[in-house]
């Protein structure tokens, strides 16, 4: 069973971890160029954002659902990493609302991010369905907010009791 994901900004920001990795990598290579670490971190974050790819069924599924329903994206992460991915996927044109944890101040599974998103859509929890890949953050958070939930299990992981 994996550890629960973070629900605070410090947990979503990849910058400290990536910085530590680059410092250790440069030191292991016998290099001690502190001034280049920040540049490497910036380059890595940029490559991460543009290097993310969608499963091929995501865009057509979201587009079909958006034609009939109000959709929102709730994501744990930073504005810097999540907003460009939303735009690159074209979701900014078909999804009614985005809740990015850094901007909101709470991440999934905190029920407030679900309640706020539902309020922006004008949809009560009992009429909403949340789809996600984390049993803890997505399914547990949605259930705590009074929503139905669908678990996307692309890895074939065994479910556990929430």
pLDDT tens digits, one per residue of 61-113: 999 999 999 999 999 988 888 999 999 889 999 999 999 998 888 889 999 99
Q: How far apart are CA 125 and CA 152, in angstroms?
A: 20
pLDDT at position 138: 95
Report yes or no: 2 and 24 within 8 Å, Cβ to Cβ.
Answer: no
129: which residues sit within 8 A by CB, 6+ positions away?
Answer: 142, 147, 148, 149, 150
Q: What are phi and psi of 74, to 5 degrees?
A: -115, 120
Q: How far apart are CA 15 and CA 107, in angstroms?
A: 18
Strand 129-132 versus strand 148-151 pairing type? parallel
pLDDT at position 52: 87
H-type helices in the chain, by residue range?
9-12, 15-28, 34-51, 58-66, 79-88, 101-104, 111-121, 141-144
- Coil, strand, or helix at residue 52? coil
Q: How far apart are CA 8 and CA 86, in angstroms?
A: 21
The pLDDT tens digits for 111-158 are: 999 999 999 999 999 999 999 999 999 999 999 999 999 999 998 988
- Coil, strand, or helix at residue 113? helix
Residue 6 has pLDDT above 60, yes or no: no
The pLDDT tens digits for 8-17 are: 555 667 788 8
- In sign, the C-alpha dihedral spanning 90, 86, 122, 108 is positive
């Amino acid at each position: 069973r994996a550890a629960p994901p973070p629900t605070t900004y410090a947990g979503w920001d990849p910058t400290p971890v990536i910085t530590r990795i680059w410092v250790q990598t440069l030191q292991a290579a016998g290099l001690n160029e502190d001034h280049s670490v920040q540049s490497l971190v910036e380059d890595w974050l940029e490559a991460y954002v543009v290097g993310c790819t969608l499963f091929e069924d995501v865009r057509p599924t979201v587009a079909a659902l958006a034609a009939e329903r109000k959709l929102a994206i709730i994501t744990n992460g930073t504005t810097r990493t999540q907003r460009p991915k939303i735009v690159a996927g074209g979701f900014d044109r078909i999804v009614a609302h985005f809740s990015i944890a850094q901007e909101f101040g709470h991440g999934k599974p905190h029920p407030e991010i679900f309640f706020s998103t539902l309020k922006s859509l004008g949809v009560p929890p009992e009429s909403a369905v949340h789809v996600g890949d984390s049993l803890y953050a997505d399914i547990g958070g949605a259930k705590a907010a009074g929503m139905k939930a669908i678990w996307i299990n692309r890895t074939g992981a065994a479910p556990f009791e929430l």
